[in-house]
Amino acid sequence: MHRFMRSRLRLASLSDYAIMHAFCFPEQPYRGDGGWLNMEKNVNTVAQAKTPEGETKLTPELTRFIEEWKARPGSLVMVLHRVQQTFGYIPRAVAFEIAKQLDQPLARIYGVITFYNFFRLKKPGRNLIQVCLGTACYLRGGDDVLRELEETLGISINSTTPDGEFSIEVVRCLGCCGLAPVMVINGEVYGKVETANLPNILAKYRERKD
Ligand code: FES
């Protein structure tokens, strides 16, 4: 299958993002073009939070969050979003605990996780690269950026380098089409990306150990 088509099949639609946004950020208007008013805050970053139990248990903060939200409409999406913000993905053990605390069948939890492409079931690398393949970025070479990253890192979309340093995801229109092609690494936005600059950009994140 053509790479672009293959990529696009993995993407959530804009309406998915809009619904997600309405649930998760009711106070923050959705721009309607796939972007958020404050992308830094909302682009999914790899928080890498750790618990003494090893990242697979609900933290006390998450437990409080569920208690606070469980009776409200849209609580499941909200809870899953917070869990992913905390761990970078939805750990299996945490999905079980969410089901218990929200008193919902596990199948429903996984139904929502798999419905929204936004949610991850696998832990991403320390540095999460999101390449935009929305129309403007695709037309301006987003696919070349993606191909170069895949070749340089030796991985494909939705996978992680063996050393756990980098993961690649494809996203659709981040709302800054004037900067196309765009990619985001750990929430930092790179516009007008040229493939020749990618080695330097990647090196910066390899060296950064915060
Ligand atoms: S298509 Fe709009 S930011 Fe990439």
pLDDT of 56 strictly over 70: no
Q: What is the number of the ligand 1 atom nearest to the C-alpha of 176? A: 3
Rounded to an integer, what distance in angstroms lies between the CA atom of residue 152 and that of residue 143? 14
pLDDT more than 90, % of the chain: 62
Kindly state whether residues 56 and 34 are assigned to the same domain. Answer: yes
Mutate to test the pocket of ligand 1, among 174, 183, 189 (most ligand atoms within 8 A of CB): 174
Greater confidence (182 vs 53) lies with 182
Q: Ligand 1 centre from 204 Cα, in Å?
A: 24
Judgement on whether residues 93 and 158 belong to the same structural domain of the protein: no
Which CATH number characterizes residue 195's domain? 3.40.30.10
Residues 68 and 142 in one domain: no
**For range 151-159, the mean pLDDT:** 96
- Shared domain for 162 and 201, answered yes or no, is yes
Ligand 1 atom closest to the CA of 134, numbered from 1: 1
pLDDT at 37 over 80: no
Of residues 89 and 41, more confidently modeled = 89
Average pLDDT for 90-107: 93
In a domain, 194, yes or no: yes
Work out the average pLDDT over 136-149.
Answer: 97
Domain boundary among 83, 115, 147: 115
> Mind listing the pLDDT tens digit for each residue in 179-197?
999 999 998 999 999 999 9
The answer to whether residues 48 and 77 belong to one domain is yes
Domain holding 159, by residue range, is 127-207
Q: How far is the CA of 86 from the centre of ligand 1 (A)?
A: 26
Q: How far apart are CA 17 and CA 116, in angstroms?
A: 8
Instruction: Residue 56: name the closest of 78, 88, 34 by CA.
Output: 88
26 CB-near residues (< 8 Å, 6+ apart):
none
Nearest in space to 101 (alpha carbons), one of 120, 83, 117, 123:
83
Share of the chain above pLDDT 70, in %: 73
The residue whose CB lies within 8 Å of the most ligand 1 atoms, and thus the one to mutate among 7, 137, 184, is 137
Higher pLDDT, 65 or 33: 65
How high does pLDDT run on average in the chain? 79
Residue 202 alpha carbon to ligand 1 centre in Å = 21
Determine, yes or no, domain membership for 5.
no
Report whether 91 contacts 48 (CB < 8 A): no
Give the C-alpha separation, 18 to 20, whole Å: 5
**Which tokens go with 155?**
């991985």
DSSP string, 145-205: HHHHHHHHHT--TT-B-TTS-EEEEEES--S-GGG-S-EEETTEEE-S--GGGHHHHHHHH
Structural contact between residues 152 and 198, judged by C-beta atoms closer than 8 angstroms: yes
Q: Are 37 and 27 in contact (CB under 8 A)?
A: no
Same structural domain, 141 and 99: no
- How far apart (Å, rounded) are the C-alpha atoms in residues 181 and 189? 11
Going by C-beta distance under 8 Å and a sequence separation of 6 or more, which residues neighbour residue 78?
A: 23, 24, 69, 72
pLDDT at residue 29 greater than cutoff 60: no
**Total domains present in the chain:** 2
Residue 176 has pLDDT above 60, yes or no: yes
Distance CA 22, CA 143 (A): 30
One domain, residues 25 and 107: yes
153 pLDDT band, cuts 50/70/90, is: very high
End-of-domain residue from the set 59, 91, 115: 115
Of the three residues 95, 115, 135, the one that is the final residue of a domain is: 115
- Are residue 69 and residue 109 in the same domain, yes or no? yes
Q: What is the model's pLDDT at position 38?
A: 34
In the prediction, which pLDDT does 59 show?
87
Examine residue 181 and say whether the peptide bond preceding it is cis (omega within 30 degrees of 0): yes
Better-scored residue on pLDDT, 79 or 52: 79
Q: Which residues contact 60 (CB under 8 A, 6 or more apart)?
A: none
